[in-house]
Structure formats: structure tokens, C-alpha cells
Amino acid sequence: MIATGLFTFATRFCMLNKTVGKQLPTWLVEALSFVPIAVLTAIIVPAVLFDPASHKITITDNPRMLAALVAIATALITRQVIMTIGAGLATLWFLQWVA
């Protein structure tokens, strides 16, 4: 935990240092710009597709799928984190309550 904390701090601090006055290479800047999307979608997709009880991919009869779609639509329209979480959870709760 402490090691990851130190590394994170290092990434934030390293470029503020005067001694590292150099520019980052373009290819690295480009590659780093894809990191958030890559990591976050890698977490989102399995969390939506896999059934938490059976650990199998479920597409039909999967309330999380519909909840995720509602959340995506909400995120695109409102661009608000709290609205997106609210809409997604509400959809999930509604579907679980109906089922």
C-alpha cells in the first residue's frame, strides 16, 4: 500500500522537478493519454458482463447490462458523475425488484 502510494506520488512530483527540465517524448505522451480509457473500460466491461454469483458471462437476463446502458446514456447527456451513478443504480434496483 505504501509502495503504491510512493509510486503515485512520484508520478505526480517527478515533472515538477527542475532537474527534469526535458520534454517527454511525443510517443510516450500519446500512449499515456490512452491509459485512463484503457484501464477504466477494462474494469467496466467484465463487471457488467460477469454474473457475480456464477462468474459466467451473461448477456440475456442480465440486469446490470441494462443498468449500464442507462448509465452510459445518462453520462453522455448530463456529464454528471452523481447522476450517472444514481440512474444506473436505480435501474438495477428496479429490475431486481421486478424480477
Partner 1 sequence: MSSKRDTADALFEAPSAQQEFWHGMCDELPLMFGVIPFGLVFGVLGIESGLGPLQTILLSTILFGGASQVVFVQLWAAGIPALIVGSSVCVINIRHVLYSASMASHLGHLSLRWRLLLGYLLTDEAYAVSIKRFTNGHAGPLKHFHLLGSGALLWTGWQASTIIGVVVGNTIPESWSLSFAIPLTFIAVVAPIMRTRAEIATAVTAGSLATICQTLPWNSWLIIAASGGIAAGWLVHHVSNGKGCTE
Query: Contact positions toward partner 1, by CB under 8 A?
Result: 1-5, 7-9, 11-18, 20-21, 23-24, 27, 29-50, 57, 64, 67-68, 71-72, 74-76, 79-85, 88-89, 92-93, 96
Per-residue burial over 1-22, b = 16 or more CB atoms within 10 Å of its CB, e = otherwise: eeeeeeeeeeeeeeeeeeeeee
Question: Closest approach of Cβ 61 to partner 1, in Å?
Answer: 16
Question: Closest approach of Cβ 90 to partner 1, in Å?
Answer: 11
Question: Closest approach of Cβ 91 to partner 1, in Å?
Answer: 10
Contact 33, 27 (CB under 8 A): no
Cα 94 to Cα 88: distance, rounded to the nearest angstrom: 10
